[in-house]
Chain A
Amino acid sequence: MDFTLSKEHEMARSLFREFAEKEVKPLAIEVDETEEFPVETVKKMAKAGFLGIPIPKEYGGQGCDVLTYAMCVEELAKVCGTTSIIVSAHTSLCCDPILTYGTEEQKQKYLPDLASGRKLGAFGLTEPGAGTDAQGQQTKAVLDGDEWVLNGSKIFITNGKQADVYIVIAVTGTVEKNGRKSKEISAFIVEKGTPGFTFGTKEKKMGIRGSSTYELIFTDCRIPKENLLGQKGKGFGIAMHTLDGGRIGVAAQALGIGEGALDRTVAYVKERKQFGRTIAQFQNTQFQLANMATQAQAAQLLVYRAARMKDQYTKDHKTSYSVEAAQAKLYAAEMAMDVTTKAVQLHGGYGYTREYEVERMMRDAKITEIYEGTSEVQRMVISGALLK
């Protein structure tokens, strides 16, 4: 078992770190304060190839592995939770399902623009009545001639109004299995600008405030028949498999947020003096830091392992990484929440001010326990595999 990273991965990390420090960190406070989507940063990331890291070169991507992609999200999240989730949602939730389930025509049509960052991607599964219960979908798609007609709405959609290409999950009928009727669910590719596709309100959020979170509304929205992604009726499986990958991205985001808070806290406790000593000299501080660093390290190992498992899946199309992704996401998210909370505490009153960034990290950390499946859902996935 080898825990050392290759030279390529080390160099990639130094690239992501340099980019994050120079291009992302200086804007992090402003992005949070203004709640504005960092358009210019996304353009720079596109130019640097960050929006197509695990996409094969033949489709205009970088041809790297999932581990490299996870490291990119991790390094971005160390300085800005918002920026990291833009990359994660685009890559894991839009590019990945097209790559995995798309026809050759769909891959050729959409991936080069997405992987190069000329276009941004998003994913619409959640509805007002269908969050954790993904079967509760109400959005409908009806085939009418050569077109699917979509009606319904999706909420809490990351990259909402900024994206150009959307993966949308909708009900296409009912199926009967063992005498029980259930919804037949399918996946579609919907492009911005399609008549009948509009945006609702922008969410005002606790954290990741610069990320564009919108409601998507479909009113007799007609898309070409060939925009069905994967087979009709396989949408639920596509959504679940897509979320497995998305969880690696969110786990990497949570990991980065925790590590970023730890880095800042280590620097702070060496400077801050109380009772004539730096607070780093107090055993309470030392023990807290030791716990935080150990948790972060454990999270990193889980995240990297899940990424490696997905890499294996990419090669053999057999390896399951669902449980590993759930474990990585569950642990990293709870680590991020815990570590950022301790970071604020160790910063004292300053930590509670918006100048010191650890409070932003604490707000950003919270969402990682909720989206792409709550921590409770991750526990269901993990225990489900144990008890089956």
Chain B
Amino acid sequence: MKIVVCIKQVPDTKGGVKFNPDGTLDRASMMTIMNPDDKAGLEAALRLKDEYGAEVTVLTMGLPKAEEVLREAIAMGADKGVLVTDRVLGGADTWATSQTLAGALRNMEYDLIITGRQAIDGDTAQVGPQISEHLNIPVISYAQNLKVEGDSVIVERQFDDRYHVLKAKMPCLITALAELNEPRYMTPGGIFDAYKAEITVWGRADLKDVEDSNLGLKGSPTQIAKASDKVRKGSGEVVTLDPAEAASYITGKLKEKHVI
């Protein structure tokens, strides 16, 4: 069985968040970690490897330094790492990211693709399902449990108050929840091996069947109006107005802050 796990290097929120002038995250200057949902997805893949002898490849898109997160995954037990990095891919939203990853995955062999449910920097939960759409394979999202039976996967899909048990034939894509498992630690020896491992690096030219118009900031329909770190709430503003004035004042303020 061949498993590809899509992982993302995300800012360690403990270290504070910094932004570029265009509102995108300044990833280069922040402390980073492997996204927790992705790490659970990787652990699920490694457990399948332990049980069935699967080959686990980790795939990421990011800055050249995202290579670190691939090495971390290899130090945990993944077999190979693929980094997709290119200036033209920068500033991608979920659409452009999923197009990029799908373009990379078209070059790869897989029975199962696992992504995290969502990344802690964007919290969109869109990339996994979008990849499945681009690749025309089934998706089961929000996996809280995962088993393989023959050529199928059996997944518990989490809901607020229940879960559904779904069976899908491979190849398919699963999005993993952090609570799927307790990811293993890297091993000290695994770390040294991981730095000896060769990471495959792909650029724009290596992506298969993807239009330029779907890549990078230009290919991203999402426009960021404003982004900021958590700021302390001020003391607020007290105004005394009659009801009609107050209503238009409030709606004006909400529009100004892009709430409505």
B202 within 8 A of A: no
Asked if residues B188 and A15 are in contact (CB atoms below 8 Å), the reply is yes
Of all A-B residue pairs in the complex, the 10 with the closest CB atoms, nearest first, are: A62-B189, A49-B187, A48-B185, A62-B188, A8-B195, A64-B188, A11-B191, A63-B189, A15-B186, A8-B192
List CB contacts (< 8 Å) of A5-19 with chain B.
6-8, 11-12, 15, 18-19
Asked if residues A63 and B192 are in contact (CB atoms below 8 Å), the reply is yes
What's the Cα separation between A53 and B186 when bound, in Å?
13
Instruction: Please tell me which one of the listed residues A11, A49, A63 contacts residue B71 in the complex, with CB atoms under 8 A apart.
Output: A11
> How many residue pairs between the two chains, A and B, have CB atoms under 8 Å in the bound complex?
50
Distance from B169 Cβ to chain A, minimum over Cβ atoms (Å)? 34
Distance from A69 Cβ to chain B, minimum over Cβ atoms (Å)? 8
Of all chain B residues, which has the CB nearest A50?
B188
Task: Determine the chain A residues whose CB is within 8 A of the CB of B189 once the complex forms.
Answer: 49, 53, 57, 61-64
Asked if residues A12 and B191 are in contact (CB atoms below 8 Å), the reply is yes
Of all chain B residues, which has the CB nearest A57?
B189
Contact with A along B33-75 (1 / 0, CB 8 A): 0000000000000000000000000000000000010011001
Task: Determine the chain B residues whose CB is within 8 A of the CB of A292 once the complex forms.
Answer: none
What's the Cα separation between A381 and B19 when bound, in Å?
55
Instruction: Please tell me which one of the listed residues B75, B186, B188 contacts residue A68 in the complex, with CB atoms under 8 A apart.
Output: B188
Task: Determine the chain A residues whose CB is within 8 A of the CB of B75 once the complex forms.
Answer: 11, 15
Distance from B42 Cβ to chain A, minimum over Cβ atoms (Å)? 15
Asked if residues B192 and A15 are in contact (CB atoms below 8 Å), the reply is no
Contact size range, A: 20 to 34
Distance from A294 Cβ to chain B, minimum over Cβ atoms (Å)? 26
List CB contacts (< 8 Å) of A41-92 with chain B.
47-50, 53, 57, 61-64, 68, 72
Task: Determine the chain B residues whose CB is within 8 A of the CB of A48 once the complex forms.
Answer: 184-185, 187
List CB contacts (< 8 Å) of B5-25 with chain A.
none
Asked if residues A64 and B192 are in contact (CB atoms below 8 Å), the reply is yes
Asked if residues A72 and B188 are in contact (CB atoms below 8 Å), the reply is yes
Task: Determine the chain B residues whose CB is within 8 A of the CB of A12 once the complex forms.
Answer: 188, 191-192
Task: Determine the chain B residues whose CB is within 8 A of the CB of A50 once the complex forms.
Answer: 188
Q: With A63-B192, A64-B192 known to touch, is A11 a contact of B72 (CB < 8 Å)? A: yes
Task: Determine the chain A residues whose CB is within 8 A of the CB of B187 once the complex forms.
Answer: 48-49, 62
What's the Cα separation between A47 and B68 when bound, in Å?
23
Task: Determine the chain A residues whose CB is within 8 A of the CB of B188 once the complex forms.
Answer: 12, 15, 49-50, 53, 62, 64, 68, 72
Task: Determine the chain B residues whose CB is within 8 A of the CB of A49 once the complex forms.
Answer: 187-190
What's the Cα separation between A63 and B192 when bound, in Å?
9
Contact size range, B: 10 to 19
Provide a sorted-by-A list of 30 A–B residue pairs whose CB atoms are within 8 angstroms. Answer: A6-B195, A7-B68, A8-B192, A11-B68, A11-B71, A11-B72, A11-B191, A11-B194, A12-B188, A12-B191, A12-B192, A15-B75, A15-B186, A15-B188, A15-B191, A47-B184, A47-B185, A48-B185, A49-B187, A49-B188, A53-B188, A53-B189, A62-B188, A62-B192, A63-B192, A64-B189, A64-B192, A68-B188, A68-B192, A72-B188
Task: Determine the chain A residues whose CB is within 8 A of the CB of B190 once the complex forms.
Answer: 49
Contact with A along B162-194 (1 / 0, CB 8 A): 000000000000000000000011111111101
Task: Determine the chain B residues whose CB is within 8 A of the CB of A47 once the complex forms.
Answer: 184-185
Of all chain A residues, which has the CB nearest B193?
A63
Task: Determine the chain B residues whose CB is within 8 A of the CB of A19 once the complex forms.
Answer: 185
What's the Cα separation between A181 and B184 when bound, in Å?
57
Distance from B189 Cβ to chain A, minimum over Cβ atoms (Å)? 3
Distance from B166 Cβ to chain A, minimum over Cβ atoms (Å)? 32
Of all chain A residues, which has the CB nearest B72?
A11
Of all chain B residues, which has the CB nearest A23?
B185
Distance from A74 Cβ to chain B, minimum over Cβ atoms (Å)? 13
What's the Cα separation between A48 and B188 when bound, in Å?
8
Task: Determine the chain A residues whose CB is within 8 A of the CB of B185 once the complex forms.
Answer: 15, 18-19, 47-48
Interface centre among B71, B75, B184, B188, by most A CB within 10 Å? Answer: B188
What's the Cα separation between A62 and B195 when bound, in Å?
14
Distance from B126 Cβ to chain A, minimum over Cβ atoms (Å)? 29
Interface centre among A53, A61, A62, A72, by most B CB within 10 Å? Answer: A62
Distance from A54 Cβ to chain B, minimum over Cβ atoms (Å)? 9
What's the Cα separation between A47 and B185 when bound, in Å?
9
Task: Determine the chain A residues whose CB is within 8 A of the CB of B184 once the complex forms.
Answer: 47-48
Of all chain B residues, which has the CB nearest A7?
B195
Contact with B along A1-42 (1 / 0, CB 8 A): 000001110011001001100000000000000000000000
Of all chain A residues, which has the CB nearest B71?
A11
Contact with A along B195-222 (1 / 0, CB 8 A): 1000000000000000000000000000
Distance from B76 Cβ to chain A, minimum over Cβ atoms (Å)? 10
Task: Determine the chain B residues whose CB is within 8 A of the CB of A63 once the complex forms.
Answer: 189, 192
What's the Cα separation between A8 and B72 when bound, in Å?
10
Task: Determine the chain A residues whose CB is within 8 A of the CB of B194 once the complex forms.
Answer: 11
Task: Determine the chain A residues whose CB is within 8 A of the CB of B68 once the complex forms.
Answer: 7, 11
Q: A11-B72, A11-B194 are in contact. List 4 more A-B contacts (CB 8 A).
A: A8-B192, A11-B68, A19-B185, A49-B188
What's the Cα separation between A53 and B192 when bound, in Å?
11
What's the Cα separation between A29 and B184 when bound, in Å?
25
Task: Determine the chain A residues whose CB is within 8 A of the CB of B186 once the complex forms.
Answer: 11, 15
Of all chain A residues, which has the CB nearest B189?
A62
Distance from A195 Cβ to chain B, minimum over Cβ atoms (Å)? 37
Of all chain A residues, which has the CB nearest B186?
A15
Task: Determine the chain A residues whose CB is within 8 A of the CB of B71 once the complex forms.
Answer: 11
Interface centre among B72, B189, B194, by most A CB within 10 Å? Answer: B189
Of all chain B residues, which has the CB nearest A6?
B195
What's the Cα separation between A63 and B184 when bound, in Å?
19
Interface centre among B71, B187, B190, B194, by most A CB within 10 Å? Answer: B187
Distance from A112 Cβ to chain B, minimum over Cβ atoms (Å)? 14
What's the Cα separation between A345 and B75 when bound, in Å?
42
What's the Cα separation between A141 and B191 when bound, in Å?
43
